Structure 1
Amino acid sequence: MSIELPRLGNDEKLSLKLRRAFELKGYHLFRVGSFEEYDIYLKNKSFLAGEDVITFTGANGKLMALKPDVTLSIAKSITNGAERKLYYSENVFRRNKQTGEYSEIRQIGVERIGKIGIEEEAEILNLAVQSLDMVGKSSLLISHMGVVETLLEYFDSPYYRKKAVEYLKAKSIHSLEELTKEAGLTDEAADDILSFSRLKGQFSEVCEELKEIWIKRGFSDEPLIQLYELGKQLAEINIIERIYLDFSIINNIDYYNGLVFQGYVDGIPHSVLSGGRYDNLMKKFKKSQGAVGFAIYLDEIENVDKKSKGDEDETWVNIALPKGRMGSDTLKLLKMADVVLDGIEEDSRKLIFEDKSKKIRCFLVKPSDVGSYVEHGAADIGVVGKDILLENSHAVLELYDTGIGKCRIVVAGKEGFCDFDNKILKVASKFPNIARNYFASKGRTVEVIELQGSIELAPLVGLSDVIVDITESGSTLRDNNLEIISVVSESSARLIANKSAYIFKGERINRLIGILKGEFHENYYG
């Protein structure tokens, strides 16, 4: 009698292959429990991918938590001074970025704990490359926290450093440029930071470009030496051509030191692998060892082969365009790039338009949905207002300020309004997150009332004290006897990109941006 075994999914097949590969390299299976005392996560919240932890009360009355991370449990459990090579295959419990709901996430990873040097880091990177190769066409991007920290020293306040990290991660060079002006940096300092933010590419080439900045300014040699020594080791094991340096890869400085990296696979919109050197985390648990490792997110890999039929040709660039005036103005820019989208300006219900000669496909979507289409990989790039990006905090790259639809996000109130700190300020807005974040940065307690339209009416009828809204000229505010109290942010249409798409289609995306900026002749794009 034959027994039919269940068909394994991509994630299950990969898990078995990875376990075999890790064991052949001398790594041993390490198991941890499904829950820990909540205190370990409370003290290390900034290390976690998100702040939400599922908690429950144990039989002894202690507050417990379902495990949102494996590395914390390992760092806590390992004996001080012990040398360990281990791997794990565990489920963690986090809020799903796509659905917003709590989910059980499958992870497999390796950790090298003990005396960690360049050879051990190279071994981990080699395992990461091999692991990614098991999934498909891939790219491993690395960075160095010591290099990033050195550049951040130009900013003299935690606020500016935090914003600089945010803009570096988003590759938002235009935002970084504005920040250097706001922070009052010298031209030399601003030039260093902007030059640094543009560095990305093959390991050896970027190291040489970085060296120019380093020698010119006389920075500490240690991070640069570490990178060069790592490069030599990667060359010896023949993987240096597989490694790319990209300083937008930044992890929490309080926990990570030195090497950090992320892995991407073509066709998967998010990183599938993440890791780094985390000696600082070990120190928090009073452990003297160094540590380096990575985790692979098996849930991201499950659907790797499930691409739609229309996406079989990887050379297509998919663009999410907002409906309305901003979309119309963006179309004018696309015409500069000689992109012909037949019928897009006609009054029809059609939503997808193509220029087959240039392999460009455009979707027309609601402005508020552009970020979601790009973040989740349905579109490679999109055009969206900065106000929507600030409100929704999409994990995308912000590559270019088109200058379309310039306006300001402001706090406004009735003429002569005076704010008293002894009461909760009522704020009406269709941007509740922007409103909360702005007033939190000012240390002001507020009650935010979310509205969808006619925001100016709220203070006039006593619904709120002030509003947070967008304005171009301020005329609508003045017509309703309202005045601007403060400016939250400037806003305009930004060209955003999916992180993974930018890695695998970056050359075509950059050419398009170059044309929109007027840097290339129209016919250069193709």
Structure 2
Amino acid sequence: MTRLRLGIPSKGRLQEETIAWFGARGVTIARTGAGREYAGRVEGAPELALVLLAAAEIPGELAAGRLDLGVTGQDLVREEIPGWAERMEELAGMGFGFADLVVAVPAFWIDVRDMSDLDAAAAAFRARHGRRLRVATKYRRLAREFFRRHGVADYALVDSAGATEGSVKNLTAEAIVDITSTGETLRDNHLRVLDDGLILRSQATLFASRAGRDTPERRALRIALAARLGLAAPAGA
């Protein structure tokens, strides 16, 4: 029997809220594996086969067509998949997993309020120190595009392998680009979001792949599932 492969986060709060979202629409998702085994089942939607993956893996699997549907953050899709809108479609924002991707600087930089100020500060930093101002992030693509749109050039992105918010305090960067939900961690680390430093508002989203095999049977399954979930059918279904 042909079924649509649905990828959901394999653990944590995102998984719990994803299960609750589908449950509110009459589709029951349950873990079946013992211990740390990633296995599960779906009840109430015979057209679905469940795949449990890390949220960061789901964008690539959707883009490659190995998943038909997937739940992950908009930030991960936009960062990981160039030309993402040609390779997948947003079916529904799910109302949880909210986070903002922002540019933040040390709170004591009182003269740096927006991206134009940051551009001037970066130029002054290079003139004074002989190197570019470092910006720590896990979101290199989105950061680079945002800085280019704002005309900021004298900076260097540095990879953040751990807690990005601690990079300035640890003297491995002068500013950061990172995800925040409440801003509390930024404040705890004496950082402040620039007035125009919002790069992206993200939330957990149900995506449909545009890369999978397209047959009349699979189109019928997509239409049936969309109706079951109360959603518009995916484009091309």
TM-score range, shorter chain: 0.7 to 0.9
Q: How many residues align?
A: 206
**Any stretches of 5+ residues in structure 1 without a counterpart?**
1-312, 520-526
Q: CA deviation digits over 1:27-56, x for unaligned, max 9?
A: xxxxxxxxxxxxxxxxxxxxxxxxxxxxxx
Is 1:457 the counterpart of 2:147? The answer is no
Distance in 1 separating the partners of 2:212 and 2:24: 23
Q: 2:18 aligns with which of 330, 334, 353?
A: 330
> Which structure has the highest strand share of the two?
2
Distance in 1 separating the partners of 2:228 and 2:17: 15
Match of 1:432 in 2: 140
Q: 2:209 aligns with which of 479, 491, 498?
A: 498
Match of 1:508 in 2: 221
Does structure 2 retain, via aligned residues, the 8 Å contact 1:430–1:453?
Answer: no
Tell me how far 1:466 sits from its aligned partner.
0.9
Distance in 2 separating the partners of 1:389 and 1:380: 15
Match of 2:7 in 1: 320
Does 1 or 2 have the higher relative contact order (CA < 8 Å, sep 6+)?
2
User: SS at the partner of 1:460?
Assistant: coil
Match of 2:150 in 1: 442
Does structure 1 retain, via aligned residues, the 8 Å contact 2:6–2:50?
Answer: yes
Does structure 2 retain, via aligned residues, the 8 Å contact 1:322–1:384?
Answer: yes
Q: CA deviation digits over 1:423-470, x for unaligned, max 9?
A: 333110111111111111112122100112211111112211111111
Q: Residue type matched to 2:187 in 1? A: R
Q: CA deviation digits over 1:253-286, x for unaligned, max 9?
A: xxxxxxxxxxxxxxxxxxxxxxxxxxxxxxxxxx
Match of 2:175 in 1: 466
Matches within 5 A, 1:110-189: none
Distance in 2 separating the partners of 1:510 and 1:460: 51
User: SS at the partner of 1:490?
Assistant: strand
Q: 1:367 aligns with which of 52, 55, 77?
A: 55
Match of 1:384 in 2: 72
Distance in 2 separating the partners of 1:468 and 1:487: 10
Q: 1:483 aligns with which of 192, 216, 219?
A: 192
Tell me how far 1:377 sits from its aligned partner.
1.9
Q: Residue type matched to 1:374 in 2? A: L
Q: 1:351 aligns with which of 39, 42, 55?
A: 39
The 3 A distance-change label for structure 1 pair 502 and 411 is farther
User: SS at the partner of 1:378?
Assistant: coil
Distance in 2 separating the partners of 1:477 and 1:345: 38
Matches within 5 A, 1:52-63: none
Q: Residue type matched to 2:23 in 1? A: K
Does structure 1 retain, via aligned residues, the 8 Å contact 2:136–2:158?
Answer: yes
Tell me how far 1:345 sits from its aligned partner.
8.7
The 3 A distance-change label for structure 1 pair 465 and 507 is farther
Does structure 2 retain, via aligned residues, the 8 Å contact 1:337–1:512?
Answer: no
Matches within 5 A, 1:29-428: 313-314=1-2, 316-323=3-10, 324-344=12-32, 347-355=35-43, 358-393=46-81, 394=84, 395-417=87-109, 418=112, 419=118, 420-422=121-123, 423=126, 424-428=132-136
> Which structure has the highest helix share of the two?
1
Tell me how far 1:380 sits from its aligned partner.
0.6
Distance in 1 separating the partners of 2:47 and 2:101: 36
Does structure 2 retain, via aligned residues, the 8 Å contact 1:411–1:469?
Answer: yes
Q: Residue type matched to 2:150 in 1? A: K
Larger Rg belongs to:
1
Q: CA deviation digits over 1:206-251, x for unaligned, max 9?
A: xxxxxxxxxxxxxxxxxxxxxxxxxxxxxxxxxxxxxxxxxxxxxx
